[in-house]
Amino acid sequence: MLTWIKYVFCAVYRILSVLLFLLIWEIAPRVGLVDTIFLPPFSKVAVAFWELLVTGEIFTHVVISIRRSLLGFGLGLCVAIPLGLIIGWFKEFERFIDPLMQTFRQTSTLALFPVFMLLFGIGEVSKVAIIFWGVQWAVLLNTISGVKNVDPLLIKAARSMGISSAALFLKIILPASVPSILTGVRLSATTSILILIAAEMLGANSGLGYLLFFAEANFLIPQMYAAIITMSILGLIVNYSLVAFERRLTGWKEEVPAGQ
């Protein structure tokens, strides 16, 4: 019984800050702290969100956005992870490619969206392409960092046993780089959603970004906030799903107790 009570208390405590925020959101417009035209009470937003759920409209936009995001994100990982492993492993290649890589990395992804629209049109390809481009950098840099920061003692110990370079890479370097790679994947997953929303606001007739832009343009403010909440929920689901996956994949890592 005590264990169950403790579990409930911990669960409530974890979401207490969110509940307080929603309570302030509900009260502030009603007491006149903010204009209800621009920030309606949370209860009105919840009603709008429920209506979008009942009609199924929100699901249509979510599915379209997820499909675009997953396609661009998946293609980005297929390029960024192998390229990061190569750059991190071959120092001479890193010296050669780093200036170009840093130049591309410092260029705003959304600033390039008009270029992608000119190259690929305003259809699905341009949206997938901009996500593909935007998710590269966090994964690429974390993969390079993971390879370069492998414990030198592990490498020396393996080489002292006469291991080949290929076996060293596959059995030592790659497994030791996984935590850093997964950190980059988590960062890029969130980035892919943000980039997609912006791209859908600029040129689309479906998706969460389009829903947000349509609601704002037609002054459907509760629906606009409902779309924003949907994006936040989607981001949370993606983040915690990747955290759970990372814990299962890197269960061998020793966790350092808090305060040490």
Q: Look at residue 125 and tell me whether its pLDDT is greater than 90.
A: no
- Count the residues in the chain: 260
Q: Which CATH number do you get for residue 184?
A: 1.10.3720.10
Look at residues 22, 62, 13, 59 and name the one whose alpha carbon lies nearest to residue 42.
Answer: 22
* Domain count along the chain: 1
Residue 3 in any domain: the answer is no
Give pLDDT tens digits for 186-199. 888 888 888 888 88
Lowest-confidence region among 77-86, 135-144, 193-202: 193-202
CA distances from 75 to 61, 71, 81, 169, 194 (A): 22, 6, 10, 23, 17
Amino acid 257: pLDDT: 45
Residue 48 in any domain: the answer is no
For residue 179, give the amino acid letter: P
Distance CA 75, CA 131 (A): 9
Residue 23 in any domain: the answer is no
Task: Tell me what percent of the chain is helix, strand and coil, each rounded to the nearest 5.
Answer: 80, 0, 20
Residue 178 in any domain: the answer is yes
Look over the chain and give the mean of its residue pLDDT values, rounded to a whole number: 83
Residue 7 in any domain: the answer is no
Residue 15 in any domain: the answer is no
Residue 196 in any domain: the answer is yes
Q: Look at residue 258 and tell me whether its pLDDT is greater than 50.
A: no
Residue 1 in any domain: the answer is no
Give pLDDT tens digits for 1-20. 556 677 666 777 777 888 89
Amino acid 83: pLDDT: 92
Q: Look at residue 256 and tell me whether its pLDDT is greater than 70.
A: no
Q: Look at residue 176 and tell me whether its pLDDT is greater than 80.
A: yes
Strand residue runs (E) in 148-246: none
Amino acid 156: pLDDT: 81
Distance CA 238, CA 197 (A): 15
Amino acid 98: pLDDT: 87
Buried b (16+ CB within 10 A) or exposed e, 67-104: ebbebbbebbbeebbebbbebbbeeeebeeeeeebeee
What pTM was computed for the model?
A: 0.77
Ordered DSSP codes for 73-107:
HHHHHHHHHHHHHHHHH-HHHHHHHHHHHHHHHTS
What is the pLDDT averaged over residues 106-131? 83
Distance CA 113, CA 76 (A): 16
Give pLDDT tens digits for 199-229. 887 767 788 888 888 888 888 899 999 999 9
Amino acid 253: pLDDT: 57
- Residue 170's domain comprises 56-249
Helix, coil or strand: residue 259 = coil
Nearest-Å Rg of the Cα atoms of the chain is: 23
Amino acid 252: pLDDT: 54
Banded model confidence at residue 259, pLDDT cuts 50, 70, 90: very low
Distance CA 65, CA 180 (A): 27
Give me 57's structure tokens: 């409209």
What is the pLDDT averaged over residues 96-100? 88
More confident of the two residues 123 and 27:
27
